[in-house]
Structure 1
Amino acid sequence: MARLSFGFFRQWVARRYKGGDAHSEYGSGSEAPVGATGRCGRRAVHHYFGRRHGSVPPLRLRLAASFWRRAAGLFLLRDMGPHEGLWLRPCSAVHTFGMRRAIDVVFMDRRGRILKTVHALRPNRAAWCARAYSVVELPAFYCRRHGRYDAALRRAMRAGR
């Protein structure tokens, strides 16, 4: 069986869906419009730019290192976005008394390794981990929606130090 090169495949896709050569209309092929339709209304091959397909969007952590910031916690962050969290350091226990929404809680040691994850901790509950040094509070179901949330946490922690 003959091996097909990527260049051959790109030319085939361009001819099939655009009726021309791959390099004629869009240059090298990287500028092709995403989701463009070709002949007969068929969809062209989708290109994902910037992030790899399935990767986690950038997470932004707000550091709460002082006593008063840790004591206030998420009470001050009522407008927390879907990719924002609060990093409590040092901390080994959290509560959701007086809160109106559930949160995901990730307990970590001094080296940033995840010790325990509590998914969707409901209001008026508490969670703790005796060996934890820091805690990250995230929007509810963030950890389940993003399977690689640990990598996003590491990147955000490196940026927030």
Structure 2
Amino acid sequence: MIKQGRLYLHSRQLCLWPEVTVLTNFPQRFIGLLLRQGLARGQAFWFPNCAAVHSWGMQFAMDVVGLDAQQRIVSIQRNVQPGRLLHLKQTRSIIECEAGLPFPLERWLGESLHFEEKEVVDEVL
């Protein structure tokens, strides 16, 4: 089963990503975003217990946000092009979305995110 929900900037109750898919098992993580042509605005993938990502085989650039154990924003990598490997220091989980997220994430370093779970969906990526 795939967990889905929304991610909010906790201090402002601002929904940053209304469509978040949480990837927790190896097959989900292995495939990740590889088979996608792109992502819709507001869509993101969250990789809990993850400090590194790759964009090998990707067909679009992405923004990568690193969170610490308390889900505070600790790292932001904008416009990560295909064919890269990133290791984000002090990161316990990673959010990936299509490049060009219109929020000033850099100003919100240290702020925490809140995940609101939706109904569990049983489908394959």
What is the TM-score when the length of structure 1 is the normalising length?
0.55
Give the Å deviation of 1:100: 1.2
Output aligned runs, 1:15-54, within 5 Å: none
- Counterparts of 2:38 and 2:58 in 1: how far apart (Å)? 13
Output aligned runs, 1:126-141, within 5 Å: 126-141=85-100
Once the two structures are aligned, what percentage of the paired residues are identical?
A: 24
RMSD: 2.6
Give the Å deviation of 1:147: 2.6
Matched residue, 2:11: none
In the alignment, structure 1 segments of 5+ residues that lack a partner are: 1-54
Give the Å deviation of 1:154: 2.5
Q: In the alignment, is the contact (CA less than 8 A) between 2:45 and 2:96 conserved in 1?
A: yes
Matched residue, 1:118: 77
- Counterparts of 1:58 and 1:94 in 2: how far apart (Å)? 19
- Counterparts of 1:61 and 1:159 in 2: how far apart (Å)? 9
Matched residue, 1:92: 51
Mark the structure with the bigger radius of gyration.
Answer: 1
Distance 1:58 1:73, change over 3 A: closer
Match of 1:80 among 15, 35, 39: 39
What is the TM-score when the length of structure 2 is the normalising length?
0.70
- Counterparts of 1:159 and 1:113 in 2: how far apart (Å)? 18
- Counterparts of 2:46 and 2:85 in 1: how far apart (Å)? 17
Q: In the alignment, is the contact (CA less than 8 A) between 1:56 and 1:148 conserved in 2?
A: no
User: Which range moves more in the overlay, 127-136 or 93-102?
Assistant: 127-136
Counterpart residue type for residue 92 of structure 1: A
Distance 1:106 1:73, change over 3 A: same
- Confirm whether residue 147 of structure 1 aligns to residue 104 of structure 2: yes
In the alignment, structure 2 segments of 5+ residues that lack a partner are: 1-13, 121-125
- Counterparts of 1:82 and 1:106 in 2: how far apart (Å)? 15
SS in 1 for 2:65: strand
Of Structure 1 and Structure 2, the greater helix share is in: 1
- Counterparts of 2:104 and 2:24 in 1: how far apart (Å)? 28
Higher relative contact order (CA 8 A, sep 6+): 2
- Counterparts of 1:91 and 1:82 in 2: how far apart (Å)? 23
Give the Å deviation of 1:158: 2.8
**Deviation >4 Å, runs of 4+:** 55-58
Of Structure 1 and Structure 2, the greater strand share is in: 2
